[in-house]
Amino acid sequence: MSKLIPAAASLATALLLSQTLPAPDPFLEKPYLQMGDAPKLSASESLVLIWHTENVPAKWDVKFVLGTDGLL
pLDDT of residue 19: 66
Across 47-59, b (16+ Cβ under 10 Å) vs e yields: eeeeeeeeeeeee
Domain boundaries along the sequence of the chain: 4-53
Contact 62, 51 (CB under 8 A): no
- pLDDT for residue 30 is more than 80: yes
Share of the chain above pLDDT 90, in %: 3
pLDDT of residue 7: 62
pLDDT of residue 67: 75
Residue 33's identity, in one-letter code, is L
pLDDT of residue 8: 64
- pLDDT for residue 56 is more than 70: yes
Q: How many residues are given for the chain? A: 72
